[in-house]
Structure 1
């Protein structure tokens, strides 16, 4: 386990940025995405909460948090990518533009007859797979979900409750993705994965656009543009979609993007640490409580965006997200409570330490965080494993760092 909160600046920041490279994330394009997502009767805009007391405590202007625990009743943001990517797959099979379809239309007997017996397959730590299984069940279709070694039994049960054929495998996340690809080829299943590789780019792009709709919601809720956005990395699809939308939305003054990763799966941090900034992968079991971020191989499409439009990456131990969970769950007087899970709260833990630890002052200055900063966080999940949540928030699991906290900042 790392003894430090490590910060790596991005040497390639704003290198060769061209908005035409990410035209798929323009406001008009993401409006089409959000318009389809809204056709589901369960769609409801998730709240953007202002933590004013926390902002005063951290000596910044504003702290906003988008609470994705309310998303479609599934307690996590991932379904935003799943519902749109699956709809695009079906639209393609029907040879119809997505703008001509609604979720109810895809459920009609006539459409189901034309589509035939389809099965979707995906690898997941829990939230993405549950979203895929939920969409498949809603449409009367089938899903096969495989989870990496060490996955939560509670999350497995939640996926099975959506009618999926779901199992936990004996390999890590990236190997589980490859296993699902083999199963898909053998059985002619449709693979719905949010990581891209050569030859598999279209569906991950649709998923990224689905995630970008969250950013569009934020842009319509927030009183003024954020100056900084802290984003969980994982394979980078969610972060890439959010970052690309805001780059389009505010081209003259884009917010500073900071990626946050567990130190056991910090592929973006490792990439930025290289002199040439080349994409790096991380192997092994990637044992971290931040299951949704335990991904060792970046989505290469997302990496191309994030490697040019990210101020830096933070690599941190599990205690940091546990701290974030407790801060959200026990807010300062006057601030709203946020129930945030292990992958949802890490950005709050990082922000808190950056703003309160004297040893991290250089990192705070390098990121330009000051009394004028308007910070945006996204709590990507709620208590998706309630028992684990209570062990950490109620019983003090993964206690605060009692050793001296040291900050390492590497500036390119």
Structure 2
């Protein structure tokens, strides 16, 4: 591969304590997975071993969890939305979550409910799917600049979808106001004062993918992962998954890296400062699912305590990852990964091609014994843009 330099700001976590959280643990993840297992069409998503790529970059293993295969929805997000809605309805109708089924709850619902949420695409699709299963209504708001294809995915699930003229965080506030005025139930994966129960359930639902991944890693008999790469928007997925992994392996035994786009790097900035920092403006990154400027305060303590490093990177890192995964080396499996899904593998490729490769490998603790887990959180949820990146070279790199 050529030599080129992409912008990757790497910050060591000076506030690392290794303190875990009972909210985001193996026990809670396994409760969520027990629920998901009962849903029609449930299957663990593939854990792909990119052995040729690992050999190229000089590590023992690169393992990628391919969430494009999740329930035919092309992303992981429904894991959180469906679980939270189920927990909410179980509480409302006094049903044990172990006895939950969409049909049973649907039969007991005496009033029509409307679930409201803000999304960059994938979360809203999951909420719309769950509402459809229950025969209920969903209203989904999206920030300005949202791709029409992502809107269409939500509309096809029977939800109302409205694109605002605001950024993600302002759209969340508007959604909350509309819901309060109209009696809707907000299902959002970030938290604020007085709204913590549902986002906690959402984050616990995301950890199903981590429970699957650990089971799959054990089956491979390759040893436990030394590294995990987790992308962050508000940090809900990153905290939910990392909480499970550090409960299993111990925070000091896992080099965890949280990666964000430089135009929406609120978790990175929070990590540098050691306290919550918000980012404003348009946040016009191609990583639409990560274009969030305000960290989830529920996930932040876990990320502050257990993340090894925070990284802020340019969009070309994600675009590189999309091309690497879509055009694999040797016998490696092909993974169709969207902009937000591919940034972890893009980071590995960008480090390998960097003129300061050896220094960056050392800083990230990567060597011939490293086993790296990455999560491809979505497939080509915006096919037009996927083709522009992978076929046409949008957000390409220039060799030095």
TM range (shorter): over 0.9
Aligned pairs for 1:4-403 within 5 A: 4-14=7-17, 17=19, 19=20, 22-107=21-106, 109=107, 111-113=108-110, 116-222=111-217, 223=220, 224-251=223-250, 254-274=253-273, 277-402=274-399
Aligned in 2, Cα 1:352/1:165: closer, same or farther, shift over 3 Å? same
- How far residue 360 of structure 1 moved from its aligned partner, in angstroms, is 4.4
Distance 2:297 2:27 in 1: 24
- How far residue 172 of structure 1 moved from its aligned partner, in angstroms, is 0.1
Distance 2:390 2:14 in 1: 37
- How far residue 253 of structure 1 moved from its aligned partner, in angstroms, is 5.4
Aligned in 2, Cα 1:332/1:232: closer, same or farther, shift over 3 Å? same
Distance 1:101 1:52 in 2: 40
Structure 1 stretch displaced more, 23-32 or 189-198: 23-32
- How far residue 235 of structure 1 moved from its aligned partner, in angstroms, is 0.2
Any conservation in 2 of the 1:63–1:374 contact (CA below 8 Å)? yes
Runs of at least 4 residues off by over 3 Å: none
Which runs of 5 or more residues in structure 2 are unaligned? none
Aligned in 2, Cα 1:272/1:26: closer, same or farther, shift over 3 Å? closer
TM-score by length of 2: 0.95
Any conservation in 2 of the 1:246–1:254 contact (CA below 8 Å)? no
Distance 2:198 2:265 in 1: 24
Any conservation in 1 of the 2:24–2:239 contact (CA below 8 Å)? no
Corresponding pairs, count: 392
TM-score by length of 1: 0.92
Aligned in 2, Cα 1:260/1:112: closer, same or farther, shift over 3 Å? same
- How far residue 3 of structure 1 moved from its aligned partner, in angstroms, is 6.6
After superposition, the CA RMSD in angstroms is 1.5
Any conservation in 2 of the 1:311–1:367 contact (CA below 8 Å)? no
Which runs of 5 or more residues in structure 1 are unaligned? 405-412
Give 3-state SS (helix, strand or coil) of 2:76's partner: coil
Any conservation in 2 of the 1:122–1:177 contact (CA below 8 Å)? yes
Distance 1:397 1:358 in 2: 22
Give 3-state SS (helix, strand or coil) of 1:358's partner: coil
- How far residue 398 of structure 1 moved from its aligned partner, in angstroms, is 1.1
**Deviation digits for residues 231-265 of structure 1, max 9, x if unmatched?**
01100000000000011111375321101101100
Give 3-state SS (helix, strand or coil) of 2:207's partner: helix
Any conservation in 2 of the 1:209–1:241 contact (CA below 8 Å)? yes
Give 3-state SS (helix, strand or coil) of 2:356's partner: helix
- How far residue 269 of structure 1 moved from its aligned partner, in angstroms, is 1.5
Distance 1:189 1:200 in 2: 14
Distance 2:29 2:342 in 1: 26
Aligned in 2, Cα 1:11/1:144: closer, same or farther, shift over 3 Å? same
Give 3-state SS (helix, strand or coil) of 2:242's partner: helix
Structure 1 stretch displaced more, 39-48 or 357-366: 357-366
Any conservation in 2 of the 1:7–1:312 contact (CA below 8 Å)? yes
